[in-house]
Amino acid sequence: MNREQLASYQPLHVFDEAIFENIVDDLVTSGFSIQENGLPDFITQALLTCQRSISEAEYKKAGIGRAENYQKAEKVRGDEICWITGSSEEGALWLSWCEAMKQYINRSLFMGLFSFESHFACYEPGKFYKRHVDAFKGQGNRVLSLVAYLNDSWEEADGGELVLYFDENDQIGTKVLPAKGTFVVFLSEAFPHEVLPSVRTRHSVAGWFRVNGTVNDSIDPPR
């Protein structure tokens, strides 16, 4: 996607509202929404362009926790990540589309979503992310999780599925194939989930809509 094509988009106006409405309906009835091939093509292409421009040096080993509680935990997760800052036109387009989703959900469900953070994730063959929830312990600021996939011609035999569990007792879950154009939205605290090992390199984008948890001088989300 070139500069002229990017400039022609006005994300707050060109998105398909039917997609956002489907997400809202699913969140009300199920708490999660699986949109197979639901990512608009211009967003998928922008993310692919951005992802392909990232050098290996820009990816960092992912960990768990935040700030002083952050630690690398390769027995828990093996992905490498690169945060999306919006410094590229393609990254800015993705963030604008997610902003449009945030506004639509807030208008419909009054969730008070305040900010959004997002990163690319790369899982090399055999890597995984064990069962976990996205909201940090003692913090409820991550309210809604979003995962989008960028993998061509992905088949069940390739593995790498996202598994959403309905509660702590669920041992079966719902599997989502990480095929290009599919994305998932779910309540961050409600659904334990994991990423299964794959036999191919697996690319995705993860993001979280957060509420404003600032108290006195403690800024949350952090700047």
Q: Exposed (0-12), middle (13-18) or buried (19+): which is 120, by Cβ within 10 Å?
A: buried
Query: 60-61 and 63-64: which strand pairing?
Result: unpaired
Task: Provide the whole-model pTM.
Answer: 0.86
- Which among 27, 33, 55 has a CA at the least distance from the CA of 182? 33
- The pLDDT of residue 56 is 83
Higher pLDDT, 99 or 216: 99
pLDDT in tens, 94-137: 999 999 999 999 999 999 999 999 999 999 999 999 999 997 55
**Residue 38 within a domain:** yes
Tell me the pLDDT of the chain averaged across its residues: 87
Residue 177 belongs to domain spanning: 3-8+15-210
pLDDT higher than 80, residue 218: no
pLDDT in tens, 133-146: 997 555 668 999 99
**Residue 217 within a domain:** no
CATH of the domain at 55: 2.60.120.620
Sign of CA dihedral 25, 27, 29, 32: positive
Higher pLDDT, 214 or 42: 42
pLDDT higher than 50, residue 70: no
Report the distance separating Cα 32 and Cα 188, nearest Å: 9
pLDDT higher than 90, residue 13: no
Q: Exposed (0-12), middle (13-18) or buried (19+): which is 110, by Cβ within 10 Å?
A: exposed
Residue that the structure tokens 């990232």 belong to: 54
Bridge partners of 119? 83, 206
**Residue 221 within a domain:** no
Higher pLDDT, 221 or 174: 174
Q: What percent of the chain stands above pLDDT 90?
A: 74
**Residue 222 within a domain:** no
- The pLDDT of residue 216 is 44
Structural domains counted in the chain: 1
**Residue 94 within a domain:** yes
**Residue 216 within a domain:** no
Bridge partners of 185? 33, 146
**How many Cα atoms within 13 Å fall on the side-chain side of residue 2?**
1
Higher pLDDT, 27 or 56: 27
pLDDT higher than 90, residue 74: no
- The pLDDT of residue 14 is 53
pLDDT higher than 50, residue 17: yes
**How many Cα atoms within 13 Å fall on the side-chain side of residue 76?**
12
**Residue 150 within a domain:** yes
